[in-house]
């Protein structure tokens, strides 16, 4: 848990080293599927009998848990798909990229890293779609922290509908139980930018956040968990809101409380009626919750690979799908830009090679790309200019894979299809 949902691995060495080393955590590139549970039929659950029950620490259980197994372990809400999905037409287009001194294709990338699903699409046409490690197109693949970007879209919709008045409002303006609490007094915009000023350390505090809000203690997993209590009772500040980027789970969890309050129901219900069905998803999604049915909306959203691609397409198309404006162009423009109050999360300030805004990552300056980013290699990459989308689901974030993924995505953007 200590390096759960780490900051993105920038990679190391040159592209030549990346092309020739062929390593993932010390294993050879052509690592057998059995290393990830294939020999056991890709099991799911809390882990081997007699061992401490954990949700991610046993690598052999990741493929199964990340593609539906979590739903048997945790309470969750389903988000129903509409009767008719928006079109995604299979139109195969070869995408080749340069890595070091060699030209590589999608299959070369898949052979290198433990990727469970990879899809490249543009404007409703699927160029490339692949599944590995026993996964297939019918499975819901988990988000990890890509759920934060889904939360961002719901915040944008709530603003569009007037359920939220301003990003300068405070959570306690909408949630009475947060009145006078630390997180009740942090402006919404600073929560969206992971700049709350609260004394939270992402690597230190899972036992204070994940365990009481979602996991429960090992003796009785999931029992007695309560998202609201964790947010409400958090104390301790490092600085004023808006000063510094500090990635943590309490920012999205606070906004989840606000969204439930203003929508009058669960996040799943709000997402179903205002996002999932209007977008034209092809299958139901799911969202993990605490013991009381409140979404743990910093993670835990699961959907088919093609529906992750539809979410990326929605963002690329400035919130429009099949002639319907689902989330405003203004909100997505805000996600891709920085004003005076966002200086701490600008590209080059938040980190030398990355920016951030409204729960979206900026891998390139100026908001040219937006990225949904999740633990263990879950990604949705969106190029706003070409409307190219790449979705990846995976089993590990170890190794310099992200540099190669970005090279593949750049090649896809440059490809005429």
pTM over the 0.85 mark:
yes
In this structure, the chain runs to a length of: 417
Asked if 24 contacts 114 with a C-beta cutoff of 8 angstroms, the reply is yes
Cα–Cα dist 231/212, whole Å: 11
What's CA 171's distance to the chain center, in Å?
A: 23
Interhelix angle 146-160/250-263, nearest 10 degrees? 40
**Cα–Cα distances in Å, from 274 out to 80, 160, 236, 280, 329?**
12, 11, 36, 11, 15
Sorted by sequence, the CB contacts under 8 Å of residue 169 that are 6+ apart come out as: 187, 188
Tell me the pLDDT of the chain (417 aa) as tens digits.
334 433 333 333 333 333 333 333 333 333 434 589 999 999 999 999 999 999 999 999 999 999 999 999 999 999 999 999 999 999 999 999 999 999 999 999 999 999 999 999 999 999 999 999 999 999 999 999 999 999 999 999 999 999 999 999 999 999 999 999 999 999 999 999 999 999 999 999 999 999 999 999 999 999 999 999 999 999 999 999 999 999 999 999 999 999 999 999 999 999 999 999 999 999 999 999 999 999 999 999 999 999 999 999 999 999 999 999 999 999 999 999 999 999 999 999 999 999 999 999 999 999 999 999 999 999 999 999 999 999 999 999 999 999 999 999 999 999 998
User: Which tokens is 12 given?
Assistant: 């190391």
Cα–Cα dist 394/255, whole Å: 27
User: Which tokens is 36 given?
Assistant: 């990830």
Parse the chain into domains and list their residue ranges: 54-414
What's the chain look like in SS3?
CCCCCCCCCCCCCCHHHHHHHCEECCEECCCCHHHHCHHHCCCCCCCCCCCCCCCCCCHHHHHHHHHHHHHHHCCEEEECCCCCCCCCEECCCCCEEEECCEEEEHHHHHHHCCEEEEEEEECCEEEEEEECCCCCCCCCEECCCHHHHHHHHHHHHHHHCCCCCCCCCCHHHCCHHHCCCCHHHCCHHHHHCCCCCECCCCCCCHHHHHHHHHHCCHHHCCCCCCHHHHHHHCCCECCCCCCCCCCCCHHHHHHHHHHHHHHCCCHHHHHHHHHHHHHCCCCCEEEEECCCCCECCCCCEEECHHHHHHHHHHHHCCCEECCEECCCHHHHHHHCCCCHHHHHHCECCCECCEEEECCEEECCHHHCEEEEEEHHHEEEEEECCCCEEEEEEECCCCCCHHHHHHHHHHHHHHCCC
Q: Which residue pairs from 168-175 have beta carbons closer than 8 angstroms and sit at least 24 positions apart in sequence?
A: 171/254, 171/255, 171/257, 171/258, 174/258, 174/261, 174/262, 175/257, 175/258, 175/261
CATH among 3.80.10.10, 3.30.1490.100, 3.30.450.40, 3.40.710.10 for 54-414: 3.40.710.10
The C-alpha angle with vertex 316 and arms to 314 and 320, in degrees rounded to 5, equals: 40
Beta bridge partners of 115: 394
Give pLDDT, residue 35.
83
The end-to-end CA distance of the chain, in Å, is 41
**Cα–Cα distances in Å, from 35 out to 42, 45, 131, 237?**
10, 17, 17, 43
Give pLDDT, residue 406.
98
Give pLDDT, residue 417.
82
């Amino acid at each position: 848990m200590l390096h759960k949902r780490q900051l993105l691995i920038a990679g190391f060495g040159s592209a030549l080293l990346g092309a020739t080393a062929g390593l993932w955590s010390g294993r050879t590139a052509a690592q057998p599927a059995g290393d990830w549970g294939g020999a056991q039929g890709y099991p799911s659950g809390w882990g081997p009998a007699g061992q401490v029950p954990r949700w991610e620490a046993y690598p052999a259980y990741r493929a199964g848990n990340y593609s539906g197994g979590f739903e048997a372990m945790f309470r969750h809400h389903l988000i129903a798909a509409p009767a008719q999905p928006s079109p995604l037409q299979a139109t195969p287009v070869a995408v080749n990229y340069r890595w070091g001194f060699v030209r590589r294709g999608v299959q070369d990338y898949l052979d290198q890293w433990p990727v469970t699903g990879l899809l490249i699409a543009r404007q409703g046409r699927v160029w490339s779609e692949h599944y590995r490690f026993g996964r297939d197109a019918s499975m819901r693949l988990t988000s990890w922290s890509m759920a934060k970007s889904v939360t961002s879209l719901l915040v944008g919709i709530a603003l569009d509908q007037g359920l939220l008045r301003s990003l300068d409002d405070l959570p306690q303006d909408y949630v009475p139980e947060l009145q006078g609490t630390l997180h009740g007094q942090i402006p919404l915009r600073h929560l969206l930018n992971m700049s709350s000023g609260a004394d939270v350390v992402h690597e230190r505090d899972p036992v204070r956040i994940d365990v009481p809000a979602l996991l429960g203690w090992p003796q009785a997993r999931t029992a007695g968990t309560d998202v609201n209590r964790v947010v409400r009772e958090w104390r301790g500040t490092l600085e004023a809101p808006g000063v510094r980027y500090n990635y943590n789970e309490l920012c999205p969890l606070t906004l989840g409380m606000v969204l439930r309050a203003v929508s009058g129901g669960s996040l799943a219900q709000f997402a179903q009626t205002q996002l999932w069905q209007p977008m034209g998803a092809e299958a139901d999604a799911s969202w993990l919750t605490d013991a009381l049915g409140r979404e743990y909306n910093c993670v835990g959203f699961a959907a088919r690979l093609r529906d992750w691609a539809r979410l990326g397409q929605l963002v690329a198309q400035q919130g429009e799908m099949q002639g319907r404006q689902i989330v405003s162009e203004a909100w997505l423009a805000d996600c891709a830009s920085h004003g005076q109050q966002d200086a701490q999360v600008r590209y080059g300030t938040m980190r030398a090679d990355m920016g951030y805004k409204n729960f979206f990552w900026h891998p390139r300056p100026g908001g040219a790309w937006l990225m949904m980013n999740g633990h263990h290699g879950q990604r949705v990459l969106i190029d706003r200019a070409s409307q190219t989308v790449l979705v990846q689901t995976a089993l590990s974030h170890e190794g310099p894979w992200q540099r190669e993924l970005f090279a593949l995505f750049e090649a896809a953007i440059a490809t005429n299809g």
